[in-house]
Structures are given as structure tokens and as C-alpha cells.
Amino acid sequence: MDKLLNKLRGPELVGQFQRLCGLSLLPEDNPAPRRSPQADRQAQPVCTRRVHTAPCRGDQTNTQHNGTVPGAPVPRKKYKIENYFLYYLFLFAATLGQEVFYITFLPFCYWNVDPYVARRVINIWAVVMYIGQASKDVLKWPRPPSPPVVKLEVRVDAEYGMPSTHAMAATAIPFSFLLASMNRYKYPCELGLLLALAICALVSLSRIYTGMHTVLDVLCGVAITALLVAASYPFWDVVETFQMENRFAPVLTLSLAFLLSIYYPELDHWSTARGDTTNIVSAGGGAALATWINHQWSLIPEPVSAPPYEMPSLSTGLIGRMCARFAIGIVIVFIARYLIKSAALTLVCWLAGVSPRDQEARKLLRVEVPYKYITYSCLGVVGLAGCPAVHRYLSL
């Protein structure tokens, strides 16, 4: 068993999977043919730290570092891509575990699918992600090193690896969506199960392909989430009833989100983990407050008849209203995010006695957690209470 676990935890399997998918490191002792400086300038791609936004022909350069060596020099390595279909497929799948996906997909479900389903998905997502992120900084297992692994991401490389929170989110969101909707709507559950499995598998494999996690990280992330979803499922209705009807629910939920962020496991070096976790639990707290507001003032009408309900036909008018709701809602969310973040950062930095332009000051606990908490708890209210109000006003 120890031998199997060591193999699953080792970087060799990651490197083998990458090479099988057509991604491999170029040897450093095999320099490219010499060319004139003018030819080099013409052929040089405009690459950024997020190298997947600027693919090169044949090979790319990527900055990377190991999360176990904070502050170490960042070496530049070259790698070769032989299968661009898998390259773009897995990079797209990796975005399904990032903020841009959460801030668009979860509100979309609330505005256009069913608030009942979306509320449950958001609750599970917030709990699962906090447990996963905190576990990383308790266990402190490093990410796979390079070489032999090619690393395609740099933003989260300073975080630890066990478990994979991408794999946890990719398990929590589709399967909680399936569990919340399968008895509420009439549709083939088998098809929903296949779709959930496909999303989970694709995102999980993307974390191995991008070189950010070992196979064991991914398997543990999926297994932990499966246990959490299964164990919590019988209590979903109880939790939502509390969020809607208890008059102390907003205070308790927001206080819990703040305390979990402040008392996040102590970091031995700064990484994006604490800030990202604060974003998630704060958004969950804001969503819970929006749930209470919507119920207390009857702002979200509930169906009169009992489930299961027929799936609506996708008419041109329905698709148009869905697109309009999403476009208007997402513009409001992104404008609110910019304004609230700027105001919160300025206020918190003023109270902390630091400059909001000081990037290092933003990493301080007394700055990072409060301004992110204010920003994303407010965004939860804006997205789940403010945007639906605008939709109703516009008769959408």
C-alpha cells in the first residue's frame, strides 16, 4: 500500500500523463539553432505569466517555481506541445475551477435555472472549498516539482497541493446540482449523471495535465468531496430553512464567514490560498444573507404546485430573456465588484495605516482578509438579491 501511495504521490505519473497527451519539457542542454537577433525578435511570441493565453509554435517559455521554496528565483523552462487540441481542452477545463467561472456560472444558475437549486450548490461549494483550502495549509504537501513535470500555471504555484480544490469544486458543483434538481424536474437522471462525471473527470485530469497536482491530490479531492456531499445531503433542507426563516441567520452566517477567514490556518509563507478562501466563504455568507432577504420580503416567487416540474421548452423568447438577464446581471456584478473592492481596499488600508498601492501591504492579514471579506460578501448580496430585483423591474 505504501508503495502504491508513493507512486500516486510522485511526479513521475504526472510527467507520464503529460507526455502521453503531447506535452513535454525540452532538455536544457539542447539549445535551439542559432538565429540572427532580427529573426529572434520576429519569431518571439508575446507571452505573459499566464502562458496559456499566448501559445507559441512548437514550444513556449514558462515561468514557474515550486511552492515549497517561497521567494526562490523563478527559472524559465521550455516545453513542447504536440497536441494542441488537448492543450486547449485542458486549459479550458482548468478555468472551471477559477474565480471567473464561479462569478459567472453560479449567478447564471440563480438567475436563469432555479434559485432553489443554485442556493444548495452555493452552500456546498463554499463548505467544500474551505475544507479543501484549509487542508492544504495544514498538510503542507508540495506540488509536483519541475522537472520532470511541466507547469502551465504560476498564480497558485506557491500554494500546497493536497487535496486538489479544482477536483473538489468539479465534484461538488455538478453532483450537488444533480442531487438538488433530479427530484425537482423531470429529466433523464442518467444523462445528468454522465454529464456530472464528464465534468468531474475533465477538470480533475486538467490539474494533472497542467502539472499542478499529483494523481493522489486529485483522487483525494474527489473522494473527500464525495463524502462531504453524501454526508450533508440529508441536511440541505434544514440548512436552507434556517437561512430563510431564522432572524439571527444573517448575523450568524456572516460572522462565521469572517471568523473562518481570520482564523484560517497560519501560513508559513504568503500564497493566494487565504485570500481565495476568504473570497469563497464571504461570497457564501453574502449569498446566505441574500437568501434571507429574498424570503423575508417574498422577492423570489416560489412555484405554487409541488415538484417534479416539467422542463421548459427553449423558445426564442425564453433564450432571449435568459441572455438579457445574464448580460445585465453580469455587468452589474463586475461593476459592483470593481467599485466595492476599490472602496473596501481604500478603507481597510486607511484603517491599517498602509497605502492601498503597496502590493506587499495587501498581503497582510489585517488588510487582505477584511477587504476581501467586505467585497465578496457584498457581491453575494448584489448577485442574488440586487440583480433579481433589477430583472423584475425590467420585466425579465
Q: Where are the domains of the chain?
A: 1-32+42-245, 246-300+316-396
Of the residues 52, 65, 166, 391, only one is catalytic, namely: 166
Q: What is the pLDDT of residue 119?
A: 94
Annotated catalytic residue 166: yes
Pairing of strands 309-310, 185-186: parallel
* Lateral strand order in the sheet of 23-25: 23-25, 76-81, 59-63
| CB atoms closer than 10 angstroms to residue 195 | 13
Q: How far apart are CA 157 and CA 211, in angstroms?
A: 10
Q: What is the pLDDT of residue 286?
A: 95
Q: How far apart are CA 184 and CA 257, in angstroms?
A: 30
Decide if 228 contacts 130 (C-beta within 8 A): no
Of the residues 52, 65, 213, 391, only one is catalytic, namely: 213
Decide if 154 contacts 63 (C-beta within 8 A): yes
Decide if 150 contacts 211 (C-beta within 8 A): yes
Q: Write b or e for each residue in 55-81: b if 16 or more Cβ atoms lie within 10 A of its Cβ, otherwise e.
A: ebeeebebebbbbbeeeeeeeebbbeb
Q: What is the pLDDT of residue 312?
A: 84
Q: How far apart are CA 242 and CA 248, in angstroms?
A: 9
CA 262, distance to chain mean position in Å, is: 20
Q: What is the pLDDT of residue 71?
A: 43
Q: Is the dihedral of CA 291, 344, 282, 64 positive or negative?
A: positive
Q: How far apart are CA 278 and CA 134, in angstroms?
A: 11
Query: Could you tell me the pTM of the whole model?
Result: 0.84
Number of Cα atoms under 13 Å in the Cβ half of residue 169 = 24
Q: What is the pLDDT of residue 77?
A: 67
Going by C-alpha positions, the residue among 105, 89, 128 that lies closest to residue 210 is 89
Per-position pLDDT tens, the chain of length 396: 778 888 888 889 998 999 999 988 887 654 444 444 444 444 343 333 333 333 333 333 333 344 444 444 445 568 888 999 999 999 999 998 888 899 899 999 999 999 999 999 999 999 999 999 999 989 989 899 878 888 888 777 778 889 999 999 999 999 999 999 998 998 899 999 999 999 999 999 999 999 999 999 999 999 999 999 999 999 999 999 999 999 999 999 999 999 999 999 887 777 788 889 999 999 999 999 999 999 999 888 878 788 888 888 888 999 999 999 999 999 999 999 999 999 999 999 999 999 988 888 888 889 999 999 999 999 999 999 999 999 999 998
